[in-house]
Structure 1
Amino acid sequence: MPKNNPSSSALSAMLAKTVGELVAEDFRRAHVFSQFGIDFCCGGGKALSIACERAGADSDQVLLALNSATLTGTQEDKLNQLPLDELMAYIETTHHQYVREKAPLLIEYAEKMVRAHGKNYQEIIPFAGWIRALVDDLLPHLAKEEQILFPAIRALSQGEHIESCFGHIGNPINAMQYEHEEAGQILQKLHALTNGFTPPEYACTTWRVCYATLAEFEVDLHRHIHLENNILFPKALNLVSA
């Protein structure tokens, strides 16, 4: 490699880090991972070397692209430095609120598409079903975080002893991560059904708006899950292992 590139030891160290750790250092790296088809939210716990292999991506090319993403103070860097109670408040007011605002719109658009075009374009019928499945997964998930997990993490961060029915804090965290995986799998199905949220030439306005909204929804959900899986949850687990 050219002499102005990082040393081989630095590159090896980067390959050994998890995808989630790399994104936590600078969220712009998420855009690099997206370009190479590497899952940085639900799959953020995998070492970069393994993630590259599973995505069929050339690790040298990925490293070069990551190196070009200069580390400066992004918003996500600042979020990484927030106290846990402020980070959870940010997640609730930004990402939880976003889901609650956009989810009903996605259902409305998808169901309108089925009523107007389902007879002629039957591929949108399963699409509407998967939209409903995604929303039905996410809304109870948000409530469990806000009513059970986040209050427990707040108490731990303040040095309080918590009495709970779930035992170790890792138990509800594992449950939330599993539900993140389920949401990610549904998004993958929606990706496949919609050709990457690309409306066909004959799509009506509602169809196009629905796909555009869903593409935006996916970006927000990736950021949402990243903040929890790769920043909030590891820090919460450190509270009980320290």
Structure 2
Amino acid sequence: MSLTTQSDVSLSEQGVGQLVAKDFRYAHIFSQFGIDFCCGGGRSLANACNKANIELSDVMSELKKLERTGQKEDALNQLPVAELIDYIEAKHHSYVREKSPLLVEYSQKMVRAHGEHYAEIKPLAGWIRALVDDLTPHLMKEEQILFPAIRAMGSGETVNACFGHIGNPINAMQHEHDDAARILEKLHELTNDFQPPEHACTTWRVCYATLAEFEADLKQHIHLENNILFPKALALAN
């Protein structure tokens, strides 16, 4: 039997809307479990789990994983901008470049094998291609224009760039992050939240599993840039 700690009790008694306000990443976990944190945001986590007919312990387990991730992010938040950029490029940019061709390959195999029989397959392949086509130049713009400028600012150098204030390319990158998020929403719609049907072949299942992993990495990637790196860069510019 597992023991419930005082911190577990405290967390379970807090309103789900309050928890999301403290850490927006809680929203992703609540959404996965079908917990309403908008209109039902005033309910305690324990009551919300009861209403959704799910085990509080399951949700708590996922929240604790997020807390451990948060400890890692605290360490990342302490990094100088140059080291943070190195981390983003090594972990997340390389991941996108590694997995993107695989997603395209899997989706094209699905089109060839099942495209004429299942209506969702061809649009799925199209949206995967759209996501890859959006992200590929996005990474290059960051690596060749924005990131070098932020690195220079972090070293105390004067940046004389054609884009003017550093906020201009940051805004552009944030808009492109929003575009990627909208494509992910379409992919969720087409794949039933990345849940393959019973008749799915192995490639189909691997494609959906890779998409789910890809989305998780991309959300973390965008979070590090939007909420840690970019604010640091804007602070350097002031």
What is the TM-score of this pair, normalised by structure 1? 0.78
Q: Is the 8 A contact 2:124 2:187 kept in 1?
A: yes
Matched, 1:37 2:31: yes
* 1:59, distance to aligned residue in structure 2 (A): 4.3
* 1:35, distance to aligned residue in structure 2 (A): 2.3
SS of residue matched to 2:44: helix
Q: Is the 8 A contact 2:20 2:27 kept in 1?
A: no
Q: Deviations over 1:41-79 (max 9, x none)?
A: xxxxxxxxxxx54xx44145369989x759667222211
What residue number does 1:47 align with?
none
Q: Is the 8 A contact 2:107 2:125 kept in 1?
A: yes
Q: For residues 5 and 109 of structure 1, what CA distance do their matches in structure 2 show?
A: 45
CA distance 1:217–1:196, change in 2 (3 Å): same
CA distance 1:57–1:231, change in 2 (3 Å): farther
Matched, 1:125 2:117: no
CA distance 1:108–1:229, change in 2 (3 Å): same
Q: For residues 18 and 169 of structure 1, what CA distance do their matches in structure 2 show?
A: 30
**Structure 1: which 5+ runs fail to align?**
24-28, 39-51
What is the TM-score of this pair, normalised by structure 2? 0.79
Q: Give 1:137-216 correspondences, 5 Å limit.
A: 137-216=134-213
Q: For residues 63 and 148 of structure 1, what CA distance do their matches in structure 2 show?
A: 47
Q: Is the 8 A contact 1:114 1:128 kept in 2?
A: yes
Large movers: runs of 4+ above 4 Å: 62-66, 68-73
What residue number does 1:108 align with?
105
Q: Deviations over 1:206-229 (max 9, x none)?
A: 000000000000000000000000
Matched, 1:98 2:92: no
* 1:240, distance to aligned residue in structure 2 (A): 1.3
What residue number does 2:53 align with?
none
Q: Is the 8 A contact 1:36 1:62 kept in 2?
A: no
**Structure 2: which 5+ runs fail to align?**
1-5, 48-58
Q: For residues 226 and 43 of structure 2, what CA distance do their matches in structure 1 show?
A: 26
Q: What letter corresponds to residue 82 of structure 2 in structure 1? A: D
CA distance 1:239–1:63, change in 2 (3 Å): farther
Q: What letter corresponds to residue 153 of structure 1 in structure 2? A: I
Q: For residues 173 and 106 of structure 1, what CA distance do their matches in structure 2 show?
A: 28
CA distance 1:81–1:60, change in 2 (3 Å): farther
Q: What letter corresponds to residue 31 of structure 2 in structure 1? A: G
CA distance 1:121–1:94, change in 2 (3 Å): same
Q: For residues 138 and 46 of structure 2, what CA distance do their matches in structure 1 show?
A: 35
CA distance 1:87–1:63, change in 2 (3 Å): farther
Q: For residues 141 and 212 of structure 1, what CA distance do their matches in structure 2 show?
A: 24
| Count of aligned residue pairs for this structure pair | 210
Q: For residues 18 and 184 of structure 1, what CA distance do their matches in structure 2 show?
A: 19
Higher normalized contact order (CA 8 Å, seq sep 6+, divided by chain length) = 1
